[in-house]
Amino acid sequence: MADLLISAPRVVPATAGSGVLEPGYVAVTGGEISAVGAGPPPGRVDVELAEGVLLPGFVDLQVNGYFGVEMATADADGWGLVAGRLPETGTTAFLPTYITAPVADLAAELRCAVSLVPALPRGSARVLGVHLEGPFIAPARRGAHNARWIIPPSPEAVGELLSAGPGLLRLVTLAPEAEGALAAIEQLVGAGVMVSVGHSDATGQQVAAAAAAGARMVTHLFNAQRPLDHREPGVTGQALADHRLTSGLIADFHHVSPEACVIAFAAAPGRICLVTDAAASAGMPAGRFRLGGEPIVLPSAEGAPPRRPDGTLAGSALRMDRAVANMVSAGVDLPTVVAAATRVPADLIGRPGLGRLAPGAAADLAWLGSDLRTRGTWIDGERVYP
């Protein structure tokens, strides 16, 4: 891996308290960041960015699909397509996400992924594991999930999934009010799997009990969960108040209004991570696609999310760079937003070597233009886009 020195008008390291370096530079040695600084770079510049901002590559913890491909059912070519093209959006690491399906099907899909991930070509976005969003969720808050496949989290079902994806199953979304859920949280956490509260009608007290059992995340804040009430905080209120919990947020301004997104950032500083919840329709023209093996329709390519035939929201068509631009347009400062798309999710998933521009971190970089659209991406210091 060749050494590299990049200068930019603005650099956002996304480390705690770092702000914006104007101008700044990043030095790369052997695929890792060796120096980050403000002002003129110390030596011959290899890449001089004339405009825009340089920041860590995005870390997306919820990607159902992209570019016409549904991750749960994709073959090696499909996985290669998604992982190879996600850097176009500035994303350099992600969790492929499978929604509710029969446990036997999810186990088979996990076993398949175990063989597919190591075969991804060099320069692909990093697969940090697999996120199972279900099947242990609340029927009343199922959203686009198929009610027929929702089950309680029995030790046997959890064990089957753990056995199918050793070392790969990284995150499970479940409803903590379900029978056996607290024991399942302890079983999953004990096996090194992070647990997120989601698709849940839990009370605030039940969410707090889940956090006490080891849950550390809330899936797509505000969506498919008991909302905040002034006498019952529900999932949303407990997520914002409980310092043990970090919340994913779909900032496409369709799932959540700009005002509610701003409230989330203000109420839970450092505990919001941007996610896309992208479906196979993301990055595609209007048309018909599949999520969880069932039909969804993308009405346009202008950012509106896909829906089930009955009108239910079904994932998104969001890009991570667009999520960042949306939150900046809503008034949240750039360093805070960048951290929510990089360092916060990386730390949450246990990957402190990602999501920041700091010596020793992986040289995963994204260059956004003045419009905050991705202009270039590096993984391990190698240019992978364009």
The 8-class DSSP code of residue 63 comes to: E
> What size, in residues, is the chain?
386
pLDDT value for 303: 79
386: exposed, middle or buried (Cβ count in 10 Å: 0-12, 13-18, 19+): exposed
Residue 189 tokens read as: 């956490």
* Among candidate residues 366, 310, 348, 270, the one with its CA nearest the CA of residue 16: 270
pLDDT value for 193: 98
Residues 176 and 197 sit within 8 Å (Cβ to Cβ): yes
List average pLDDT for each run of 10 residues in the chain, which is 386 residues long: 90 94 97 96 93 98 98 97 98 98 98 96 97 98 97 98 97 98 98 98 98 98 98 98 98 98 98 98 96 93 88 96 98 98 98 98 98 98 97
DSSP per residue over 127-180, as a string?
E--EEEE-SSS-GGG-TTS-GGG-----HHHHHHHHHHSTTTEEEEEE-TTSTT
Q: Which CATH homologous superfamily contains domain 4-54+359-385?
A: Urease, subunit C, domain 1 (2.30.40.10)
User: How many CB atoms within 10 Å of residue 35?
Assistant: 16
Q: How far apart are CA 348 and CA 273, in angstroms?
A: 9
Residues 59 and 248 sit within 8 Å (Cβ to Cβ): no
Residue 284 tokens read as: 């595609």
The identity of residue 190, as a single letter, is: G
Clarify whether 321 is annotated catalytic: no
352-386 residue pLDDT tens: 999 999 999 999 999 999 999 999 999 999 999 99
Residues 59 and 355 sit within 8 Å (Cβ to Cβ): yes
Q: How far apart are CA 72 and CA 82, in angstroms?
A: 12
pLDDT value for 63: 98
Pairing of strands 169-174, 194-197: parallel
Q: Structural domain boundaries of the chain?
A: 4-54+359-385, 57-348
Residues 28 and 35 sit within 8 Å (Cβ to Cβ): no
Q: Which CATH homologous superfamily contains domain 57-348?
A: Metal-dependent hydrolases (3.20.20.140)
Q: Which of 60, 252, 277, 347 is catalytic?
A: 277
pTM over 0.85: yes
pLDDT value for 302: 75
Q: How far apart are CA 290 and CA 177, in angstroms?
A: 29
Rg (CA), the chain: 20
User: How many CB atoms within 10 Å of residue 237?
Assistant: 19
Element (DSSP H or E) covering residue 338: helix 334-341
pLDDT value for 141: 98
Element (DSSP H or E) covering residue 237: helix 234-241
Give the CA distances from residue 1 to residues 4, 54, 122, 291, 301, in Å, rounded to whole numbers and listed in that order: 9, 20, 12, 39, 38
